[in-house]
Chains A and B, each alone.
Chain A
Amino acid sequence: MLAYAFRRLLWAVPTLWVVVTLTYFGVNVAFVQTRHDALQLALSGAEVPAADENYLPIYLVDGSLRDGYLFFLKDLVRLRWGESVTHQFRPVAEVVREGFAVTGRIGLLAFALAAGLGLPFGALAARRGGWLDRSVSWGATLAYGVPGPVTIILMLTLSVYLIPVRLFSVPWDADGGWRNYVLPSLVLGLGAGGYLALVARAAVLDVLGQDYVRTAHAKGLRERTVVWRHIVRNALPTILAATGRTLGVLLAGSLLVEYAYYVPGTGRLLLDAFTARDSQLILAGVCLYTSLILAANIAADVAARLADPRTRSGER
């Protein structure tokens, strides 16, 4: 178990490195749009002139992209994120932390909604079947298939035509308080909830068809024992894996939703940093995003393995 977790963590490091490297080169090449051979120049280590003087390539040292990259890596390892060009030169760590406070809260609320609604409904739908199953499957597919901004649009227009009460706060109000969080959390939570419901339903259906469930019933065990000891226990790994990954994605934030809804979170920070060519902020934001998702995936997979009754006695 420890070996598995360690191996996954070890693999996460090169992944993070590749992502950060690609982002670094992407940022430096993307912001030099006027030259069609910018990419070749960058790769050959020659100097890549900036598109205009408003863009300050922070890490370019003596004009060479490769040297700049090495400096960037050194700072990264020492966790020095630098200052943000567009946010009055405040330290990037501070700016990102403020953004994450918002995005993290939305993510947690959305996760609570998704796990609290999606998992029970999915599991119930698999067990009961019939109209509940059909409506839950249909509803979950709809919730999952329609992307965030579209759901926002539909809900906003619904609130215009049907509900006169201003429950939502559109757009983001600086002193709106909790009302600001309602719509993004609702939208993200419904989508993720649809996904979790489908996963839970599939996992439970899988388990229900197994022989040991039938055996347990034949043995005359109480319904509750069958449910908890056999069904839940065996469906848990799949469900845990999916739930953990969903938590990671929700915490990392949805750029589409944050852009459409003017949420001052990390997603919007990233996009604004891109338009303003703030490379420090972009790199720090990408690091945060990728680390969150990688950490959540590893945690989810480790938890799934822990919960799997087959791996209990030390076997792999």
Chain B
Amino acid sequence: MADVPAERTVGGVSGRRAYVMPLKNRSTLLGGVVILAMALVSVLAPRLAPFDPATSGDSPVFQGRSSVPHSPPFWDKSGNAPYVEDPADPFAIYFRSLPFQPEHVLGTDGQARDMLSLLLYGLRFSLSVGLMTVALVAVVGVALGLTAGWRGGLWDDLVVWASDAAESVPALLAYALFASAVSGPVAGRLGSVGLDLAPAPATALVLSFVAWAPVARLVRARVIELRHAEWVFAARSIGARAPRILLRHILPYTVGTALVASSSQLPVLLLADGLLGAIGVGYRPRSGSLGELIFREFKYALDEPVFVLMPTALLLLMAFGTAALADGVRRALAPQ
């Protein structure tokens, strides 16, 4: 009897295996690998990037040209593409396309800056902002949702009302206003801490200003559901106090939901960050984020779509990775 292996226990998987098994799920692993790879690349970005994106537009190749063109990535060997001009169409985008420049492997953007460096530094900033925001939003959402859903009453009413109010505000405008208001004092204090990533915490804070609402609402609904669960009832009947019940019996089932909800907002948040950068509001990194790159390259989407597709692909990949990881965490914490 003593050597019955854990798997054969009546009732299924027990103990530590319950936490580890969902992590071996294929999409969770894939998501984890993607995020780790991106994090690695981001950390090494200053080493990997061939140019400093903020200054690479001064390359001598582009000097003396009246319009600043793109140069194509390495797979586009079309050489000298024809000059596109259509005087009959007042909205045609005029550009002169350059041949492939060997030192700009992925081409250059609309302001003659190296795409590879822009993507690397942009990924660095966007990944840090994204992960920080997801974490912050999940933490705030869980804290508010737990406390509101458990007791009910005045605090619950307040939290519900606050989340309704937060959702009825034009989010981007709120970000813009908050970013401008916050950037002053923050820029003063964080000025010299690591050139590129200094604005990241401030931006994460700004973005979580509105994004916490749907997460808090979901967590609260979940807690209200779980209040009537049998194990909670059992814990209460043996005299467990509220904090212990909350932490040990309810929290594990809400963290996963909160993470899934906040990571599903990630693409929109990164685009909002890009919009802030495009408008030029708040404390921005020198090299711009992925969202900014998307918005800047958007106007060339019809003529040279590859330049807007590159940061978009990275953004979607990041969104997929975080969503898969969050789902894995949810299934690990709440095996159901």
Binds A, one of B9-17, B145-153, B315-323: B315-323
Q: Kindly provide the distance from the CB of A242 to the nearest chain B CB, expressed in whole angstroms.
A: 13
Q: Are the C-beta atoms of A256 and B164 separated by less than 8 Å?
A: no
* Interface members, chain B 262-277 (any A CB < 8 Å): 264, 267-268, 271-272, 275
Q: Give bound CA distance, A113 to B320, whole Å.
A: 26
Interface residue A35 (Cβ < 8 Å from any Cβ of B): yes
The interface bits of chain A over 13-29 (1 if a CB of B lies within 8 angstroms of the residue's CB, else 0) are: 00100110001001101
Q: Are the C-beta atoms of A153 and B308 separated by less than 8 Å?
A: yes
* Interface members, chain B 63-84 (any A CB < 8 Å): none
Q: Are the C-beta atoms of B264 and A145 separated by less than 8 Å?
A: yes
Contact residues on A (Cβ < 8 Å of other chain), bracket: 35 or more
Binds A, one of B94-102, B116-124, B170-178, B229-237: B170-178
Q: Give bound CA distance, A36 to B220, whole Å.
A: 37
Q: Give bound CA distance, A304 to B160, whole Å.
A: 18
Q: Are the C-beta atoms of A146 and B267 separated by less than 8 Å?
A: yes
Interface residue B21 (Cβ < 8 Å from any Cβ of A): no
Binds A, one of B23-31, B38-46, B127-135, B297-305: B297-305
Q: Are the C-beta atoms of B312 and A150 separated by less than 8 Å?
A: yes
Binds A, one of B51-59, B183-191, B240-248, B251-259: B183-191
Residues of B within 8 A of A290 (CB): 168-170
Q: Are the C-beta atoms of A171 and B91 separated by less than 8 Å?
A: yes
Q: Give bound CA distance, A2 to B290, whole Å.
A: 49
Q: Give bound CA distance, A293 to B164, whole Å.
A: 10
Q: Which of B168, B183, B188, B323 has the most CB of A within 10 A?
A: B168
The interface bits of chain A over 156-168 (1 if a CB of B lies within 8 angstroms of the residue's CB, else 0) are: 1101110000000
Q: What residue in chain A is nearest B178 (Cβ atoms)?
A: A26
Interface residue B295 (Cβ < 8 Å from any Cβ of A): yes
Q: Give bound CA distance, A217 to B226, whole Å.
A: 31
Binds B, one of A68-76, A130-138, A281-289: A281-289
Q: What residue in chain B is nearest A15 (Cβ atoms)?
A: B165
Residues of A within 8 A of B281 (CB): 274
Interface residue B309 (Cβ < 8 Å from any Cβ of A): yes
Interface residue B181 (Cβ < 8 Å from any Cβ of A): yes
Interface residue A147 (Cβ < 8 Å from any Cβ of B): yes
Residues of B within 8 A of A30 (CB): 176-178, 180-181
Q: Are the C-beta atoms of B271 and A271 separated by less than 8 Å?
A: no
Q: Are the C-beta atoms of B161 and A11 separated by less than 8 Å?
A: yes
Q: Kindly provide the distance from the CB of A191 to the nearest chain B CB, expressed in whole angstroms.
A: 10
**Main secondary structure on chain A at its contact with chain B?**
helix
Q: Are the C-beta atoms of B275 and A289 separated by less than 8 Å?
A: no
Q: Kindly provide the distance from the CB of B139 to the nearest chain A CB, expressed in whole angstroms.
A: 22
> Which of A19, A36, A274 makes the CB contact (< 8 A) with B168?
A19
Q: Kindly provide the distance from the CB of B174 to the nearest chain A CB, expressed in whole angstroms.
A: 8
> Which of B178, B294, B319 makes the CB contact (< 8 A) with A149?
B294
Q: Give bound CA distance, A160 to B267, whole Å.
A: 24
Residues of B within 8 A of A39 (CB): 181, 185
Q: Give bound CA distance, A60 to B184, whole Å.
A: 22
> Which of B164, B176, B299, B323 makes the CB contact (< 8 A) with A145?
B323
Q: Are the C-beta atoms of B170 and A270 separated by less than 8 Å?
A: yes
Residues of B within 8 A of A171 (CB): 91, 299
Q: Kindly provide the distance from the CB of A263 to the nearest chain B CB, expressed in whole angstroms.
A: 13
Q: Are the C-beta atoms of B305 and A147 separated by less than 8 Å?
A: no
Q: Give bound CA distance, A170 to B89, whole Å.
A: 12
Q: Kindly provide the distance from the CB of A26 to the nearest chain B CB, expressed in whole angstroms.
A: 4
Q: What residue in chain B is nearest A288 (Cβ atoms)?
A: B170
Q: Kindly provide the distance from the CB of A116 to the nearest chain B CB, expressed in whole angstroms.
A: 24
Q: What residue in chain B is nearest A14 (Cβ atoms)?
A: B161
The interface bits of chain A over 139-155 (1 if a CB of B lies within 8 angstroms of the residue's CB, else 0) are: 00000011101100110
With contact pairs A30-B177, A150-B316, A171-B91 given, residues A260 and B298 touching in the complex (Cβ less than 8 Å): yes
With contact pairs A15-B168, A18-B165, A160-B305 given, residues A256 and B271 touching in the complex (Cβ less than 8 Å): yes
Q: Kindly provide the distance from the CB of A41 to the nearest chain B CB, expressed in whole angstroms.
A: 12
Q: Are the C-beta atoms of B165 and A19 separated by less than 8 Å?
A: yes
Residues of B within 8 A of A270 (CB): 170, 173
> Which of A18, A35, A160, A255 makes the CB contact (< 8 A) with B173?
A255
Q: Give bound CA distance, A30 to B183, whole Å.
A: 9
Q: Are the C-beta atoms of B298 and A149 separated by less than 8 Å?
A: yes
Q: Are the C-beta atoms of A26 and B177 separated by less than 8 Å?
A: yes
Q: Give bound CA distance, A34 to B184, whole Å.
A: 7
Sample of 11 A–B contacts (CB below 8 Å): A11-B161, A30-B176, A33-B180, A145-B264, A153-B298, A170-B301, A259-B278, A260-B298, A267-B170, A270-B173, A275-B279
18 additional A-B pairs beyond A26-B174, A153-B312, A289-B169, beta carbons within 8 Å, are A15-B164, A30-B176, A33-B180, A33-B184, A36-B184, A38-B181, A38-B184, A145-B264, A145-B319, A147-B271, A159-B302, A160-B305, A252-B170, A255-B173, A256-B172, A256-B271, A256-B272, A275-B279
Which residues of B come within 8 Å of A, CB atoms?
91, 161, 164-165, 167-174, 176-178, 180-181, 183-185, 188, 264, 267-268, 271-272, 275, 278-281, 294-295, 298-299, 301-302, 305, 308-309, 312, 315-316, 319, 323
